[in-house]
Homo-oligomer: A and B are copies of this chain.
Amino acid sequence: MQTQIGKLEDLKRKKGIDAFLMTSPAAIKYFSGYFFYFEHGPSPFHLMPAALVMAPGDHNSLLIADNEIGQAQGIYSDISFKPYLSYTYNGALDPAREFLLQLSAIIKVQQLENTCIGIEANTFPAVIENYLKTTFPRIRLKDIGREIYGLRAIKTREEIDMIRASAALCDTGQTAVVSLAKPGMTELELFNLVRTEIETAAGTRIPLMADFVGGRATASGGGLPGNKIIQSGELILSDLTPCLNGYWGDSCSTIAIDEPTVAQKKTFALVHESLYIGIDAIRPGIQALELDGLMRKHTGGYPHHTGHGVGVEYHEGPRIVPHNRTKLVPGMVIALEPAIYTEDYGIRLEHLVVVTEDGCEMLTRFEHQLIK
Query: In A95-150, which residues have CB < 8 Å from any B CB?
Result: 95-96, 121-130
Pick the contact of A207 from B39, B303, B319 — CB < 8 Å? Answer: B39
Pick the contact of A127 from B39, B122, B128 — CB < 8 Å? Answer: B122
20 residue pairs bridging A and B, Cβ less than 8 Å apart: A26-B44, A39-B207, A39-B208, A40-B241, A40-B243, A44-B313, A44-B314, A89-B319, A90-B322, A96-B122, A121-B126, A123-B125, A126-B126, A129-B129, A129-B130, A188-B196, A192-B192, A200-B227, A204-B224, A205-B225
Judge whether A22 is part of the interface by a CB distance below 8 angstroms.
no
Q: Mark A37-69, 1 if CB is under 8 A from B, else 0.
A: 011111011010000000000000000000000
A321 cross-chain contacts in B, Cβ below 8 A: 89-90
Instruction: State the number of copies, please.
Output: 2
Judge whether A285 is part of the interface by a CB distance below 8 angstroms.
no
Give the residue name and chain of the B residue nearest to A212 (CB): B205
A129 cross-chain contacts in B, Cβ below 8 A: 126, 129-130
Q: Does B322 contact A89, Cβ atoms closer than 8 Å?
A: yes
Shortest C-beta distance, A117 to chain B (Å), equals 13
A123 cross-chain contacts in B, Cβ below 8 A: 42, 125
A226 cross-chain contacts in B, Cβ below 8 A: 203-204
Q: Does A89 contact B304, Cβ atoms closer than 8 Å?
A: yes
Shortest C-beta distance, A184 to chain B (Å), equals 14
A243 cross-chain contacts in B, Cβ below 8 A: 40
Q: Mark A211-238, 1 if CB is under 8 A from B, else 0.
A: 0000000000000111100000000000
A96 cross-chain contacts in B, Cβ below 8 A: 121-122
Shortest C-beta distance, A68 to chain B (Å), equals 14
Pick the contact of A41 from B124, B127, B188, B313 — CB < 8 Å? Answer: B313
Judge whether A315 is part of the interface by a CB distance below 8 angstroms.
yes
Shortest C-beta distance, A5 to chain B (Å), equals 22
Q: Does A305 contact B207, Cβ atoms closer than 8 Å?
A: no
Judge whether A189 is part of the interface by a CB distance below 8 angstroms.
yes
Given the interface pairs A44-B316, A126-B129, A323-B90, the reply to whether A204 lies near B225 with Cβ below 8 Å is yes
Q: Does A199 contact B192, Cβ atoms closer than 8 Å?
A: yes
Contacts A39-B209, A204-B225 known; 17 new A-B pairs at CB < 8 A: A25-B41, A25-B42, A38-B40, A39-B208, A40-B243, A89-B319, A89-B321, A96-B121, A123-B125, A124-B126, A129-B129, A188-B199, A188-B204, A189-B196, A189-B200, A192-B192, A192-B196
Pick the contact of A186 from B124, B191, B200, B224 — CB < 8 Å? Answer: B200
Judge whether A1 is part of the interface by a CB distance below 8 angstroms.
no
